[in-house]
Every structure is written in C-alpha cells, then in structure tokens.
Structure 1
Amino acid sequence: MARGFVLAATHSGAGKTTITMALLKALKERGLDVQGCKVGPDFIDPQFHQAVTGNPSYNLDSCLMGDAGVKEQFRQLLAQNRHQDSNRRPLSEKVMVVEGVMGLYDGLGSRKENGSTAWIARLLNLPVILIIDGAGMSTSAAAMVKGYRDYDPQLTIGGVIINRISGEKHYELLRSAIERDTGLPCLGWMKKDQALHLGSRHLGLVPAAEVDALMQTIQRSSEAAQKTINIEALLQAAAPLDTDTSAGKHFRPEEHQPNKTRTFTLGIARDRAFHFYYPANLDWLTEQGFKLVEVSPLKDAALPENLDGLYIGGGFPEIFGEELEANSSFREDLLEKAKGGLPIYAECGGFQYLCENLTDFDGNTWEMASVLPGRARMTDRLQRFGYGIIETLPAKGFFTEKLRISGHEFHRGVVDSEEENLINVTKMQDPQDMSEARKWSCGLARYNTFGAFPHVFFQSNPRYIMEWLKKIPEWQPKKIRKEGKE
C-alpha cells in the first residue's frame, strides 16, 4: 500500500518547509516508509527532508527533467523497497510527500503548464494539501482558499492546514468559514512560534548541516503538529498509488544504458562548503559504473590516490573562504592532479573554488585552487536566477560537439577572466512571452577540467556530462604509469 500528497502554500514564506519537516517526522514515527520529494531545482529543502527521513529526497522539476522525467523519477522512487529491521521485514506503508515551491501556481511564466507545484501535482495525480498563513484573518481565509481551489478545476485540493494563528479559537473561526464556504476540510493548524523558525541567508534557508540543534527544532515542531494536525485525516486525504514497477516509460536514453563493467572511482566533494547535488545525478553516475567516494576540500589533506575523476558541486565557498584557503595542502594536490589530467567537473560554488581566488561579501579575497583562469567575486545582488538553455561551443575546446541541455542558476557570484567562455545560455521563458530572451556566456576549461555556474540534470541529455566522463580513459594511462604499473 502506498499513498502520496503534495504540500503547497499560497506563497513563499507561509511556513511550508517547517510544516513539511514536522509532518515528515510525524509520519516516520508511525513506522511508515517516508519518501520526500521537492518541486523545482532547490537543493536545501531536500537536505532537510533527508535529515528527517534518512532517505535522499529527489527533485521533481519539469523545466529541467521534462514531464516524462518527472513521472519516471516518481515511479522509480515509488518502486523502491526499504526495510525496517535486520530481518528485512517491509515497512507497512510507503508515503510519498512532495513539498511544493513558492506559491501553488507559481512557475515559469504565467501558463498553468509551467512547472509549478500545481502542474507537478496534476502530472502525478496527487492531491494538494494547501497551507495558508492565517495571521490577521478570519472569513477572508475562506475567500482565499476558494480562489485557489477554483483557479484550476483539474487540480484536487484535498485539505487545508492553517499556519501562524494565535490559538484554537482563532483556528475554529477560520475552519468554520473555510469548510462552510468551500467544502474543503481543514486538517489542522500550527501556532506562530519563532522557536520553530528555520534561519535563512542570501540564497534561502541555511543548509541543514549548518543549522544548530536542527533535529531538536524538528522534534519540537513535530510534537506541536501532532497535537493540532489530524495525521489520520491527512493520510486519508492522500491518494492511493500504484507501485507496479513495470508501469511507465523508462526515461534513460537507450544509448546510455547503465554500464556494469566499469570500475572507475569518482570523487564527490561533500562538506559544509560543497553539498549541492541532485541525488538523481549521483544515481546516474553509479548506474554508469562509477564508485562514488566523498572528499572534503575543507578537511582532507589531499585527494585519494585512486581517483579517476572529481565532481565539485555547488554550495557556499564564499562563507568558508578562510578555511578553504587555509587548507593549502588540498589545494596544491588538486592543482597538481588537474595539471596531470585528472578529469574534473564543477558547478556554481565548485566552479568558483577552482578559480584563482574568491572575494567574499565583506571584500576579503581568499586563495582558491587556481585550476581555472578566473577570479571569483561575490556581489550585492543576484546575478542570475532562473532556468536557461545551455548550448556548448565546441570551437572553444573541451566540448567536441554542439549540445543543448536545460540548466538552472541562482547565485550572486561572478567570475572575471580573460579567457573565452565555453557555453552560451539563453534564459528560459514562457512561450507566450514574445520579448527577446536574455543571453549570456559562461564556463571555463583548462587541462581536463570544466566549470560553469549552471546546475544540470544529467539524464536530460547525458551526452553533455559524457563530454567530461569520456576524458577519464585519457587520464587512466597517465595514472597507471604514475603508480608504476607499466
């Protein structure tokens, strides 16, 4: 038996993530197999999901993955079997909990087929549990809920949770109006409590690894939720799901079926400075035959000797500039191996780390790895925010063919360089928007290393990432000779 639902809000800042954490914890404590998902490209909310459930949380983003990719990712997660003890007894029931993004209908442009939370819910045939901020409201709450219900008749809203209200009397006032005037059930409420607030910084919430006493905060919010939210009614509102693993079209392109014969080892930079990775990308690398090994640019003295490649994801190197500079032995070893041909791929924060230096928000300049010919610096405003269509420039080196892939950028950093960029990016926009789309260039390469700001979903065009991975055989002979094996 499996069930699923979407937690959505009327707008950003309504308390969606706090309530999601509380409910994930409450469901897990019931012995359920809880699988979190996140609508959109965000990296931080899925980290919170995993901190609660112990299971990686996956993004569902139709702008990066396409509608077919969203359906296939959800199908694969639904088909996974997890066990609750050493006797491998299956958990009694799987619950798929999908956290929305921004407001319920907010996505790319103004069409309903825009990658919004509502669109993902429709794709997956999941009911929406609508979270509203009830502060300072009474009967107006019913008008608001009715508007969200009626805006898209093809969407099912299974219930309402009211957040940030003063207490039970306030809840009863709003509940009676909502249920009377919309026919939708209210499933419960949460009181406004600053102690349950999750901190934020320039790109959203502070990552889970940096939140002091995170689990204590989540435990308090879960205990509060279980007193005021009807968990049984929530589960009843969830949609039953078909766990037939044969259903649906396999998303992986035929020419990139998993290769079980490779034994290459790939380093994944993971610590407080670098931790923005899509679990689906790591799964794909594993399916290609790579053994993934975590490394830390903050704490490790050097890279492992047996690496065949290195992937440095995004994160917040600007927050940890002093510590990254202080670990000179790691930077020197990384540079030496890069010069020797170690294939390296970096996104966003990882791209900045591979530059010569990085200037943080306070104007401090820290020495970085000096693998790529550029200087990174942070600015006081967003430089890029949104989806883009990436086009590679094979004439500039590194890439051997012209490729297109969707990407996402969200950063305040820039990289200054005298070298030519390797990719062009065209901002993705609503097809009904007839204005000229913004364009920019990005990305640097040197040795067998490539770095750029956009984050991509590998499976949407594996040939893009294969341009990096196919350099591993070039590195292999050099590595073997260095180890004295021939």
Structure 2
Amino acid sequence: MPACPALFIGASASHQGKTTVTAALARHHARRGLKVCVFKIGPDFLDPMILERASGAPVYSLHLWMVGLDACRAMLARAAQDADLILIEGVMGLFDGTPSSADLAAAFGVPVLAVIGAHGMAQTFGAIAFGLANYRADLKFHGVLANRVASARHAQMLSEAIPAGLNYCGHIFNADDIALPERHLGLTQAEEIAGLDARLDRAADAIATTTLAALPAPVHFEEANIPALPRALDGLHIAIARDAAFSFIYPANVDWLIASGAEVSTFSPLADEPAPDDADALYLPGGYPELHARTLAVNAQTRASIERHVSRGRPIVAECGGMLYLLDSLTDIDGTRHAMLGLLPGDAKMQRKLSRLAMQAVDTSHGLLTGHTFHYSTLNTPMQPVLTASHATTHAAGEAFYRHGSISATYMHAYWPSNPSAAAALFRGESL
C-alpha cells in the first residue's frame, strides 16, 4: 500500500482562499525540489490552471460521484507511488454538497487543513475552527489557517481564540499581490493573470512563515484495480480547439482519448488556425467564447476548416462554449450580437445571472455518462433534444443533448472516463 505525505485543503465556505493557499503550498514545496501532485475536488477547470502553474504538473479532478470511488482511489494510489507530496483542494465549504469535500477526505483518510477568511472577525474565528474540526468524528483534522489577516495584532487575537487541542497553523496577511483575481465563472485563467508566477512566489513566501512549511504526515493509499480501456478510437485523429476561448478541458478526458487509441492534436480558433484537414473528429470544449466573440466572428480560416469538416459528415463534439461557437449568433453581456459559425440553428445570449450550476448525468444506451453544467448564457434554438440529462441528486431535468447532422452538442461538460463506451460513440459519430 503506497504512502505519501498528504493534506486536504478545505474551508468554511467558498471565497476563503483555498486555491491561493493550495497554490502557495504547491509552489513552496516545488521550490524545495519536491514533486508535488495536486488534485481538485469536483468539476472545476479554472482552479486547476492555477494549481498546475504552481506545482508544475497537470491537476486532475476527484469526486466520489462524477469520477467514482474506485477511479479516485486509483489516481491517489498512483500519485502516492510517484510524488513527494499530495495536495487536494476541496470545493465550497467543507461539508457542502452531496457528496461533500469532507466525504472524500474521510473516504481516503487525508487530514484536513481548514482555511478561514478571518477578515471581519476575531474570537468567532475560534468557534468556526472548533466547529469544522468537531462536526464529524470520522474526519482527520490537521489544523486551521487564518487567511486575509489585517495586522499582527489581529493575528494574535485569532491565535488566542483557538481552543486547546486544535492545531493553529498560522496566518497569511491580506494582500492584493497574493490574492487571485476572479471573473463570472470563477478565477481568471492562469495565462491571463499578469505576473502570476511572482504572485505565486509571494504566496509561497507567506506559507513558509507558517507551520505548513514542513511536510504533513504520510497517508497510506489503498490501490485499486481499474480494467484496461478498450482501444475504441484506434486510428482516429481527434483535434481539440484549445486556447483562451476554449480551455475547459479535463486532463483525464485527454488521457482517455490517448488511452483509447486516438491521435490527439490541438488548434486555436482565436489565432485563426484551421482545424486539421485530416481530423476524423473535432472536440470544441467550453471556455470563454463570449469574451472573444468579436475575434472569433471574423477568423475566416478556422471557420472555413470547420465548415469543411461538417460538409464531409465528420463528427464534432461541442460542449457549452464550444456549442455557442457553432450557433448562428452569440450576444455578449453588453448586448452586442456577434455572428458565429452558423452550423447549429439557434442564438445564445449572455446574462449576468447564473443560468445553471449542477452535477448532471445523461442516461445513454451505454449507461450513465456523468458531468456537470455551469453557464451564464441562455439558448434559443429550434433543435429538439435527443436526450436530456438529469440532476445528480434531485433527478430533475437538466441539460439537453442535441444532434444536428454530424454535430453532438450540449451545455453539459462530460467526464468521459465515467463511461468510455458512450464517449467513444460521440467521437465515432454514433447515437447515444
């Protein structure tokens, strides 16, 4: 049973600084020459971009429902054999959601570091820390870190508020040159943050002043036997749109494509690069097409290459932002309408209010394909769904799956390893 120092970074709520602290820990230990493997709980694309920059290695998702217990176990065991440190960043508050971050930490026995944004509080900090540490008896608790601390006196008050027996790991002062900038879907993408490495280094310097500068205790991870994937995509060339407009891609999905036998390449619609003429299928992932709609609308080489691909009847798998790119038009948040590729009938419009956020699954002829949805746009289309996803816990109707010629499109971001047969059918242009 492989063992590796490991720590789970949770929080009292969202926006407490979990990603900043996780990235700081990763950068601190990576600067020491250690191999750091970072995981992120749940369906997230933005935080992993930051964490990958901090650690120097791809960041994979863990989730007991979307990814599955056995697949999570296998990934952690593999990491424990190779890494010097495993860090797992939670999602939302520690006990929020079904399953929660705490559920996964407890399932694998990883001690929890609780990050609490201490701005606007003093002794109440101790009460919140005590509650997080004692809410569940099956949860191993490493300690608590105070984030966004105003002053040395404030830090002293917080440390004095910690009940006896609870480990206070230290504090990070409130600093604009450490905090990570956000936008409507979460953190700003790593490649768009000016001076990100300097920001991460400053965060690592702050962590170096806490007790977290030392490695946590080793955790033993049980190995799992995962069957080898069938090479269902042998001989297929699959091209992925990948740039600042189309970047919401699970590393596990790309790994699955390669393990299934596909040759994988990338092209950039933002740079007006044509999709490869010999591609058997295209994958247009989600991202921020709304922020680049003006550029995407006029980039003729990419447009022509995707039109050629469709005219030959070759499959396209389009998720969320990728689907918006194929529509007749996309209206941005300022009300400006931009002509898109016109390969799917319909129009999308951005709004300031969140349209949908949920873990979802679609019941295919191959079984359940899991994933999630998170978008600020609405879609008006004459297309009729061929399938409709359902909410993971309430089972309420979720996102539509559309099929238009050789194009499969949906708002749902699918986690392909959850059902390799269904995913392979998409890229072979077969019905689900």
TM-score by length of 2: 0.93
Which segments of 5 or more consecutive residues in structure 1 lack a partner in the other structure? 82-92, 108-113, 393-400, 431-436, 473-486
Percent identity over paired residues: 31
Q: Is the 8 A contact 2:240 2:264 kept in 1?
A: yes
Q: Is the 8 A contact 2:366 2:419 kept in 1?
A: no
| Corresponding residue number in structure 1 for 2:406 | 448
- The structural deviation recorded for 1:428 is 2.4
| Corresponding residue number in structure 1 for 2:74 | 72
- The structural deviation recorded for 1:388 is 2.0
DSSP-derived class of the 1:361 partner: coil
Q: Distance in 2 between matches of 1:167 and 1:416?
A: 51
Task: Give the letter aligned to residue 461 of structure 1.
Answer: N
- Following superposition of structure 1 onto structure 2, how do residues 79-478 of structure 1 map, counting pairs within 5 Å? 79=81, 81=82, 94-107=84-97, 114-178=98-162, 181-226=163-208, 228-233=209-214, 235-236=215-216, 238-242=217-221, 247-250=223-226, 252=227, 256-258=229-231, 262-392=234-364, 401=365, 403-429=367-393, 437-440=395-398, 442-471=400-429
- Following superposition of structure 1 onto structure 2, how do residues 11-22 of structure 1 map, counting pairs within 5 Å? 11-22=13-24
State how many pairs are aligned.
428
DSSP-derived class of the 1:263 partner: coil
| Corresponding residue number in structure 2 for 1:84 | none
Q: Distance in 2 between matches of 1:70 and 1:460?
A: 11
DSSP-derived class of the 1:6 partner: strand
Runs of 4+ in 1 over 4 A off after TM superposition: none
- Following superposition of structure 1 onto structure 2, how do residues 51-70 of structure 1 map, counting pairs within 5 Å? 51-70=53-72
- The structural deviation recorded for 1:46 is 0.5
When Rg is computed on C-alpha atoms for both structures, the one with the higher figure is 1
Q: Distance in 1 between matches of 2:263 and 2:188?
A: 30
Task: Give the letter aligned to residue 424 of structure 1.
Answer: T
| Corresponding residue number in structure 2 for 1:29 | 31
Q: Is the 8 A contact 1:6 1:121 kept in 2?
A: yes
Q: 43-52 vs 216-225, which deviates more?
A: 216-225
Which segments of 5 or more consecutive residues in structure 2 lack a partner in the other structure? none
| Corresponding residue number in structure 2 for 1:47 | 49
- The structural deviation recorded for 1:240 is 3.0
Q: Is the 8 A contact 2:207 2:213 kept in 1?
A: no
DSSP-derived class of the 1:194 partner: coil
- Listed one character per residue, the Cα deviations across residues 252-295 of structure 1 (whole Å, up to 9, x for unaligned) are 4x6x4346x93322111110100101111111111011121111
DSSP-derived class of the 1:105 partner: coil
TM-score by length of 1: 0.83
- The structural deviation recorded for 1:130 is 0.9
Q: Distance in 2 between matches of 1:129 and 1:224?
A: 16
- Listed one character per residue, the Cα deviations across residues 138-191 of structure 1 (whole Å, up to 9, x for unaligned) are 33222211111111010011111111112333323322331xx24121122100
Task: Give the letter aligned to residue 21 of structure 2.
Answer: I
Q: 1:167 to 1:371 in 2, by over 3 A?
A: same
